[in-house]
Amino acid sequence: MPVNQRSYEYGTSKSSIREIAAYGAQRKAQIGAEKVFDFSLGNPSVPAPEEVRRSIERSLELPPVQLHGYTPAAGLVEVRQRVAESLNRRFGCDYGAGDLYMTCGAAASLSISFNALVDPGDEVIVIAPYFPEYRVWIQTAGASCVEVMADPQTFQVDTEAVCAAITSRTKAVVVNSPNNPVGSVYSRQNLEELADVLRERESALGTAIYLVSDEPYREISYGCEVPWIPSLYDRSVVCYSYSKSLSLPGERVGWVLVPNTNPDHDELVPAIAGAGRKLGFVCAPALFQRVVMDCVDVPSDVAAYERNRKALTEGLSALGYEYIEPQGAFYLWVKSLEPDAEAFFQKAKALELLPVPSNSFGCEGWVRVGYCVSHQTIVDSMPAWRRLAEQYAQGDA
Amino acid sequence: MPVNQRSYEYGTSKSSIREIAAYGAQRKAQIGAEKVFDFSLGNPSVPAPEEVRRSIERSLELPPVQLHGYTPAAGLVEVRQRVAESLNRRFGCDYGAGDLYMTCGAAASLSISFNALVDPGDEVIVIAPYFPEYRVWIQTAGASCVEVMADPQTFQVDTEAVCAAITSRTKAVVVNSPNNPVGSVYSRQNLEELADVLRERESALGTAIYLVSDEPYREISYGCEVPWIPSLYDRSVVCYSYSKSLSLPGERVGWVLVPNTNPDHDELVPAIAGAGRKLGFVCAPALFQRVVMDCVDVPSDVAAYERNRKALTEGLSALGYEYIEPQGAFYLWVKSLEPDAEAFFQKAKALELLPVPSNSFGCEGWVRVGYCVSHQTIVDSMPAWRRLAEQYAQGDA
């Protein structure tokens, strides 16, 4: 192979989510968009708020050299200050611009964090089911990715299983709440238990274990508390993105927060900057840093997702489907009607229903139904969901 | 160390260029901006062309979900198609969208290319003096960075020295023309010689050697030919950025081209995509991809730099300074008036002149004078350059 083997493999092994979405697009072209019910992607269906457009227009009045010039590697100080103030207001903390590092979105936030933290041979624990790119970034940073299944009933963190998986090489545990793919939100009690486990293991093993909180869905929750991780566990790092909250996934802007309460703060802040530098990130896109400054407190349009969530859960409930009660994000985690989620997916696909089977997320027996789609898609999909259930009820499936 | 040592070091070892610029900013605040002559940075002083603003305004008329949504990892097809057509018109080639991968700027283009190409233990040759971040990205990809000095008279590639440095582990040679820091442009003859050397060594060693062409300054040249590398050497990769040509350094947009004439094209294209994925790049910023589409053929405002270049070279010539005739980019490579460039820099600094000593670029005895500054800065700096030369002439230095 004349090129790097692993890069080649990452470039040829398509994500199954993208493959399903590609099939959906092709199928829509064949039989009409309204006849295909594509629930595969996590691409926000809610438009960016009007404030984003106004912020861009306002920025265009700045001198171009100032507007489009390099920013500091960590981002414009005034942007980070505004983000810190927003976090301080919301979570009663005392962060400053120096605790934040602006990134090219959540993928960059996570990749940079792993590269800042791990040494070759380290282990990073992820809670399955999980976003499959975690594994790619963890391995690229030189660590191995250790899967720990969530509690199979509640899909909360199975803290005993995490405890059992921790070794002297465990450098970090990744949590993602509101959760992709499940749509669950980890409760305060669950996270307190996790924090206790980590502190106990740190003390027993004489190691430092980081809690990396991947929070792109923080603003998308349905009435429940989304606990602020750094208030529960000191050695934490928060990875954020505006992809979902401001519906800007293509613009690539987010941040990493190293809380000033993290005991390794003074080593970790430069390590984050150094990791960004070594991966080839120079700064987050300058114009969208300013958009973040202007829109940091603009609320996400959760109402649209909430309406979809209601229609989907009520519809599937009435048809006898089981699912995990969605508390956040825009995914419904539906139990497959047979143990083999891939087989279930194939039968759904024959009815033009396109969820994502759970094996893509490291877990058996479920599908992820992304309801970041038009409301009409959900309404129109119900007859197909009914036929699918009927096939299983009649033993035809 | 509780964090990754190398990331920490990359985050704490300041670039000397940034340190000089920081000193310049501080000094300006102390004694007045007009009294400090900061030639340290490569930040374009020419504003982005008006077409950029018009393109952004036009894009804002698109539905936000379409405008700000994820693009394919390689970039919007229509953007890549437009870039390919522009290259085809200019260089008589036959590229398509599939040969291009849009990136978050030149740093990403290079980091991704190295990660796509090299295996641990490989060697990548750079031509010194060189942009110091090359070493960071090459090492992060797992290879070692091998410096080969340019010809000390002409600062063209010393092809015999490159030939001597090539081993069976040499995976790539990086060229950068127009050159940062020298401002030279490699001649067609020089590059043909280099191509001959690479082909001969490939054949003798039975290996594949890539020519990675870093071209952010391609559009900024002063009347000389900037040869198109893929027409001279098949196994080439071109890394581009709009940071300089459209004065958009903070917006992070560029591309990697794998020419369809590259014999490893079909392995390298997915390896580039896989490298982007594994580093945490998801797509280039969507809005600025559209700006690229609209502005791909907008000429750079070379006239402003040319005026600066003329004033600087004429001024320094009259004072007896020696320099390499600048053919491109916006840097003048001036011979230090003593062998120790750092000592020369310190004396310049005492007169409020802030070039960058050549040791920052892996070479002794010169300074880089960045003339991407206001014309007035150049004019006003001349008395200080005169005093500096006089100190040396009088033996006071």
Asked if A10 lies within 8 A of B277 by C-beta distance, the reply is yes
Q: Give contacts of A52 with chain B, Cβ < 8 Å.
A: 64, 68
Handedness of CA A214, A219, A225, A230 (dihedral sign): positive
| Res. A397: pLDDT tops 80 | no
CA B154 – CA B324 distance, rounded (Å): 7
DSSP per residue, B97-149: GGGEEEESHHHHHHHHHHHHH--TT-EEEEEES--THHHHHHHHTT-EEEEEE
The closest alpha carbon to B281, from A10, A80, A53, belongs to A10
Mean pLDDT value across residues B316-337: 97
The closest alpha carbon to A366, from A162, A133, A155, belongs to A155
By Cβ distance, the residue of B117, B248, B287 closest to A3 is B117
Instruction: Parse chain B into domains and list their residue ranges.
Output: 5-48+300-393, 50-295
By Cβ distance, the residue of B105, B247, B281 closest to A64 is B247
Q: What is the pLDDT of residue B350?
A: 97
| Res. A13: pLDDT tops 90 | no
| Res. A14: pLDDT tops 90 | no
Yes or no: say if A325 and A331 are a contact pair by the CB < 8 Å rule.
no
Residue A73 is encoded by which pair of tokens? 């590697």
**Which helix or strand (DSSP H or E) is residue A101 part of?**
strand A100-103
Residue pointed to by tokens 């010393």? B158
Give A274 to chain B, closest Cα distance, Å: 4
Q: What is the pLDDT of residue B42?
A: 85
Give B390 to chain A, closest Cα distance, Å: 36
Asked if A68 lies within 8 A of B248 by C-beta distance, the reply is yes
B194 burial type by CB count under 10 A (0-12 exposed, 13-18 middle, 19+ buried): buried
Going from the C-alpha of B18 to that of each of A93, B126, B178, B321, B368, the distances in angstroms are: 32, 22, 22, 25, 14
User: Residues of chain B with pLDDT > 90: what percent?
Assistant: 94
| Res. B7: pLDDT tops 80 | yes
A189 burial type by CB count under 10 A (0-12 exposed, 13-18 middle, 19+ buried): exposed
Asked if A68 lies within 8 A of B249 by C-beta distance, the reply is yes
By Cβ distance, the residue of A68, A252, A282 closest to B282 is A252
Q: How many CB atoms are located within 10 Å of the residue A27 CB?
A: 17
| Res. B13: pLDDT tops 90 | no
Nearest residue in B to A60, CA atom: B53
Per-residue confidence band for B352, with pLDDT thresholds at 50, 70 and 90? very high
Nearest residue in B to A46, CA atom: B65
By Cβ distance, the residue of A2, A118, A250 closest to B69 is A250
Mean pLDDT value across residues B49-62: 97
Q: How many CB atoms are located within 10 Å of the residue A180 CB?
A: 24
User: CA triplet B65, B70, B74: central angle to 5 degrees?
Assistant: 145
Q: What is the pLDDT of residue B77?
A: 97
Asked if A65 lies within 8 A of B270 by C-beta distance, the reply is no
Asked if A7 lies within 8 A of B275 by C-beta distance, the reply is yes
pLDDT digits (tens, 9 = 90+) for A375-394: 999 999 999 999 999 999 99
Q: What is the pLDDT of residue B150?
A: 97
Phi and psi of B295, rounded to 5°? -115, 15
| CATH number assigned to the domain with residue range A5-48+301-393, chosen from the 4 options 3.40.50.10700, 3.40.120.10, 3.90.1150.10, 2.30.110.10 | 3.90.1150.10
Nearby residues of B307 by Cβ (< 8 Å), 6 or more positions away? B375
B265 burial type by CB count under 10 A (0-12 exposed, 13-18 middle, 19+ buried): middle
User: Residues of chain A with pLDDT > 70: what percent?
Assistant: 100
Per-residue confidence band for A18, with pLDDT thresholds at 50, 70 and 90? confident
Q: What is the pLDDT of residue A395?
A: 84
Per-residue confidence band for A53, with pLDDT thresholds at 50, 70 and 90? very high
The closest alpha carbon to B40, from B282, B348, B393, belongs to B348
CA B383 – CA B37 distance, rounded (Å): 11
Yes or no: say if A218 and A254 are a contact pair by the CB < 8 Å rule.
no
Q: What is the pLDDT of residue A348?
A: 98
Asked if A4 lies within 8 A of B48 by C-beta distance, the reply is no
Residue pointed to by tokens 């928060």? A238
Give B346 to chain A, closest Cα distance, Å: 25
Q: Give contacts of B11 with chain A, Cβ < 8 Å.
A: 269-275, 277
List the CATH code of the domain at B5-48+300-393. Answer: 3.90.1150.10
By Cβ distance, the residue of B9, B250, B271 closest to A8 is B271
CA A225 – CA A328 distance, rounded (Å): 10
| Res. A11: pLDDT tops 90 | yes
By Cβ distance, the residue of A64, A264, A274 closest to B48 is A64
Partners of residue B144 on adjacent β-strands: B123
* Amino acid in the structure at residue B118: V
DSSP per residue, A65-81: HHHHSPPPTT--HHHHH
Give B112 to chain A, closest Cα distance, Å: 8
Q: Give contacts of B107 with chain A, Cβ < 8 Å.
A: 280-282
SS3 A284: coil
* Amino acid in the structure at residue A57: E
User: Residue B370 half-sphere exposure, CB side, CA atoms within 13 Å?
Assistant: 21
CA B216 – CA B69 distance, rounded (Å): 27
Mean pLDDT value across residues B213-242: 97
* Amino acid in the structure at residue A370: G
Asked if A8 lies within 8 A of B140 by C-beta distance, the reply is no
Per-residue confidence band for A16, with pLDDT thresholds at 50, 70 and 90? confident
Yes or no: say if B127 and B151 are a contact pair by the CB < 8 Å rule.
no
Chain centroid to CA B296? 19
Helices (H), chain B: 5-12, 16-31, 50-59, 64-68, 77-91, 105-117, 133-140, 159-165, 188-205, 265-279, 286-295, 302-318, 341-350, 375-393
Q: pTM for the full model?
A: 0.96
pLDDT digits (tens, 9 = 90+) for A257-313: 999 999 999 999 999 999 999 999 999 999 999 999 999 999 988 999 999 999 999
CATH fold for the domain made of B50-295 = Aspartate Aminotransferase; domain 2 (3.40.640)
Query: Residues B281-291, buried b or exposed e (16+ Cβ, 10 A)?
Result: bbbbbbbbbbb
**Which helix or strand (DSSP H or E) is residue B181 part of?**
none
Yes or no: say if A112 and A279 are a contact pair by the CB < 8 Å rule.
yes
Asked if A277 lies within 8 A of B53 by C-beta distance, the reply is no
Least confident of A6-15, A139-148, B92-101, B363-372: A6-15
Nearest residue in B to A48, CA atom: B64
Bigger pLDDT: B396 vs B257:
B257
